[in-house]
Amino acid sequence: MDKHFEEIARKAAGTLPGNPAERQERLRGYIKRLSDGEPLDAVRRDFVEQFSSVSPGEIAMAEQSLIKSGVPLKEVQRLCDVHSALFHGKTEQELIESRLAAASKESTSTGYSALPAGHPISIMLAENKGLVDFLDELENTASNPSRCAAVFPRIMALFSHYAKKEELLMPALYSYGVTGPSQVMWGTDDEIKRELRTIRSALKDDAGNAVIYNGRIRAVAKRIREMAYKEEKILFPLCLRFFSDTEWFMIYGDMHEMGCAFISDLPSWEEAKRYLNDKKAMLQKDAPDDGILHLPTGNLTVKQLRCMLKLLPIDITFIDDADIFQFFVNEGHVFARPHSALGREVWNCHPPEILPVVHNLVEDFKAHKRSDMEVYRWIKGRPVGVHYMAVYDEDDHYIGTMEIVQDFTNALSHFGGK
């Protein structure tokens, strides 16, 4: 898939002035100069002289090739905000927007205007607009302790926006060989989320001294604005270039599982709803409920098993021996489980920083070095247990991994909350 992406990216670069290979080498050079500590202004001055425009595919390939050449992902990620600042005003999307605005003499015209209101990218753009409006409000209160402490918790809606990006858009890009931007942005998202949690806890413990956190609030707000820029000028155009209508329909269906961020509700997309309803009807027709499952301890119809699973207040996922995400039950609703993730490699469903842990765990299961692992921690303010178990057949051959996630809030309430 990498070659497929690279070919499309080269064709996109070929529509821009200059030799595509030379443009790529120069882009990598600019990012490398930033990595080596050269001031942004100096690098950007050279960039502006050499480039009249740059495509999202070119930026993706530049970041991706740096990672492949051995530049640590953490280093590329550390410079994520600087990278986006380098390209301000020069991305292909921005040039399209400026031409449309000039042609219509309306500064609000954008290259996304042809998308339906319920299209996933339209929803993400609306959330970004609401996010930027909120950041303006937040920064206006940052020097007023009581107002800041009251307003700040609303920023946590950003987690829902990032979840839609990380679990619906980025993994789908992996299947087209586009890994660089997703890896870098996902890691930066995690840093932003950690800082937001830290500030929230500090304000909760000492709201009267919110002014102390004024600088940190403004700093993280700047990073969030840069991330919104990179989404709109790099990530979203890449997704629109690669994804099929069917993929967008599936992403739309999964978005409702993840809620809204900075907008009141998710707009309807009738074309996607028709597709999803037809798909559901077809699946029910092809998989009748009256099939019998013959198990060692008794027999069940498919319908009986399906209804029983819906009663379990837990999340269950299963990946097979080829590391493919094959099945889930999500009645506990601790994490979002997108249907569009089914059939993907498990590696494409996790943030880069924990991939080594996932790799080691699965390899240990396959090698019979261990058969389970339990983790208990607070997630979204709830006491949650996560249990990973190796699944072996009657001959002790590894056939997959099962994950069970359970919220223990109700159970702990019967023990005095301890």
The 3 state secondary structure assigned to 330-350 is ECCCCCCCCHHHCCCEHHHHC
The pLDDT of residue 105: 44
How far is the CA of 198 from the CAs of 141, 249, 295, in angstroms? 18, 36, 49
Residues in the chain, how many?
A: 418
The pLDDT of residue 189: 92
d(CA 188, CA 291): 47
How far is the CA of 101 from the CAs of 106, 109, 289, in angstroms? 5, 5, 55
333: tokens are 């609703």
Give phi and psi for 121, each to the nearest 5. -70, -35
Give phi and psi for 376, each to the nearest 5. -125, 125
Is residue 270 exposed (0-12), middle (13-18) or buried (19+ Cβ within 10 Å)? exposed
Find the helix or strand (DSSP H, E) in which 390 lies: strand 382-392
Q: Which residues of 376-387 are buried (b: 16+ CB within 10 A; e: fewer)?
A: eeeeeeeebbbe
Asked if residue 46 lies in contact with residue 80, where contact means CB atoms within 8 angstroms, the answer is no
Mean pLDDT, each 10-residue run in order, the chain (418 residues)? 52 54 74 77 75 70 74 67 62 54 43 88 96 92 79 93 93 84 83 90 69 78 91 90 93 90 93 92 72 88 88 93 92 83 83 84 96 90 92 95 93 78
Give the pTM. 0.76
Residue found by looking up tokens 């979840």 in the block: 163
Asked if residue 168 lies in contact with residue 120, where contact means CB atoms within 8 angstroms, the answer is yes
The pLDDT of residue 79: 56
